[in-house]
Amino acid sequence: MEQRDSRTAPPTLGVGMVGYAFMGAAHSQGWRTAGHVFDLPLRPVLAAIAGRDAHGVRAAADKHGWAAAETDWRALIARDDVHLVDICTPGDSHAEIAIAALEAGKHVLCEKPLANSVAEAEAMVAAAEAARLRGQLAMVGFNYRRVPALTFARRLIADGRLGTLRHVRVSYLQDWLVDPDFPLTWRLQREHAGSGALGDLGAHIVDLAQYLTGEVLVGVSAQMETFVKERPRLDDASSGLTASGGPRRGPVTVDDAAVFTGRLASGALATFEATRMAAGRKNALRLEINGEFGSLAFDLERLNELSFHDHREPAATAGFRRIVVTEAEHPYLEGWWPPGHVLGYEHTFVHQARDLVEAIASGTDPRPSFADGLQVQRVLAAVEESAQKNSVYTPVQAVAAEVR
């Protein structure tokens, strides 16, 4: 019988997570799994999680495999065995926690959207830049960049397979607010969530549009709507996507839906739709990009597939091909299963963990950076401004010339 040889084991990276609801569960799965699938230079250790409710956080720690539980995120940040702080709380606390963690010398992974306002996001970028000088890294959790089909899509575009881009159309459709009696959770309150479908779903598709094309959005024209103005109040705090409400109703203070058009730096036209009111669409992030030489299409409900049309082929045999993105050559697939043995939603968090661990080990900047998160935030702010100003085209000040 042989024992693990500790002399050759990789050094560890202590992770501390704040928040333990849906995103906390997904991030936990990422941290637990990444080292068993990929050969990582650092071994992630699930050191501690923090949450306000002592019983809840203890149960979550046990369930998700975290060694310790804290009821104050400041205590978590202060722990010596925590090298990286992973922030999975609602958006209203992102800035405070992230800045404190960076100031405490920790690496930071912050869930999207980066913040609830541009000002907060700018402060976070500043903190990240200061920390970078001390060798600390910061990343924002736009996990869909790490769907293999989308990572591969970006590569095809960067390789020029689409040529000059003409159109980007992206929609992110869910339906959990169709029922007018779905209760007034924190996600429907502006003070906690910042915005509704816009920040939750729109942030993803704005980031993807920029990531996939490598271009920034330079302006937008928008309409937003809250179809159901009042919903049943929760008697006590609820943090999840599912909950039940009481008899009293309170005002919904965020948008149910946002639709907007935009321009990419190259002049391509973009259309966006984010809604929680599309009956029958569960997690339908759909995108299509058309260029001079070809097109790409994708649907998150079939996330192992990428459709690619090569317009330079003979017309008689051209057409959108369904690429099953599970070949060893595809991004992230070297660690997984044989072709056609498909991946799921949570794998994006495994990939995110891998990439961040590798960035920390090598000292390179992980993407999406806080600056990328700020770029998205500025677009979202322009969307809200345009919606308030009769949909007038509203320019976006770019954080950087291109998106990587």
Site for a second copy in 107-146 (CB under 8 A): none
Q: Which of 260, 298, 332, 370 binds a second copy (CB under 8 A)?
A: 260
Q: Closest separation between CB of residue 360 and a second copy, Å?
A: 20
In sequence order, which residues have a C-beta less than 8 Å from that of residue 325 and are 6 or more positions away?
A: 148, 149, 152, 304, 305, 306, 333
Task: For a second copy, give the closer residue by CB, 236 or 329.
Answer: 329
Q: Closest separation between CB of residue 71 and a second copy, Å?
A: 8
In sequence order, which residues have a C-beta less than 8 Å from that of residue 375 and are 6 or more positions away?
A: 210, 216, 398, 399, 400, 403
Task: For a second copy, give the closer residue by CB, 68 or 140.
Answer: 68
152 in contact with a second copy (CB under 8 A): yes
Q: Closest separation between CB of residue 105 and a second copy, Å?
A: 19
From the list 12-20, 112-120, 124-132, 325-333, the region that binds a second copy by CB under 8 A is: 325-333
The residue count for binding a second copy (CB under 8 A) is: 116
In sequence order, which residues have a C-beta less than 8 Å from that of residue 152 and are 6 or more positions away?
A: 306, 323, 325, 330, 331
Q: Closest separation between CB of residue 370 and a second copy, Å?
A: 25
In sequence order, which residues have a C-beta less than 8 Å from that of residue 200 and are 6 or more positions away?
A: 113, 187, 193, 274, 276
Residues between 12 and 31 that touch a second copy (CB under 8 A): 22, 26, 28-29
Distance CA 343, CA 50 (A): 29
Residues between 340 and 359 that touch a second copy (CB under 8 A): 340-347
Residues between 219 and 238 that touch a second copy (CB under 8 A): 221-223, 225, 227
Q: Which of 167, 190, 233, 367 binds a second copy (CB under 8 A)?
A: 167
CA separation, residue 247 to residues 40, 233, 319, 359 (Å): 51, 7, 54, 50
DSSP for 135-176 reads T--EEEE-GGGGSHHHHHHHHHHHTTSS-SEEEEEEEEE--T
Q: Closest separation between CB of residue 268 and a second copy, Å?
A: 9
From the list 126-134, 162-170, 182-190, 355-363, the region that binds a second copy by CB under 8 A is: 162-170
Q: By three-state DSSP, how is residue 44 classified?
A: strand
Task: For a second copy, give the closer residue by CB, 141 or 366.
Answer: 141
Tell me the three-class secondary structure of 70-123, residue by residue.
Answer: ECCHHHHHHCCCCCEEEECCCHHHHHHHHHHHHHCCCEEEEECCCCCCHHHHHH
Q: Provide the token pair at 94.
A: 């992102």
Q: Provide the token pair at 156.
A: 């095809």
Task: For a second copy, give the closer residue by CB, 125 or 170.
Answer: 170
Residues between 67 and 86 that touch a second copy (CB under 8 A): 67-71, 75
151 in contact with a second copy (CB under 8 A): no
41 in contact with a second copy (CB under 8 A): no
Q: Provide the token pair at 179.
A: 């029922």
Q: Which of 257, 357, 380, 403 binds a second copy (CB under 8 A)?
A: 257
Distance CA 389, CA 147 (A): 36
Q: Residue 296 burial (CB < 10 Å; 0-12/13-18/19+)?
A: buried
Q: Closest separation between CB of residue 173 and a second copy, Å?
A: 8
Q: Which of 12, 93, 253, 261 binds a second copy (CB under 8 A)?
A: 261
Q: Which of 89, 117, 136, 174 binds a second copy (CB under 8 A)?
A: 174
Q: Which of 41, 52, 53, 62 binds a second copy (CB under 8 A)?
A: 62
Task: For a second copy, give the closer residue by CB, 120 or 256.
Answer: 256
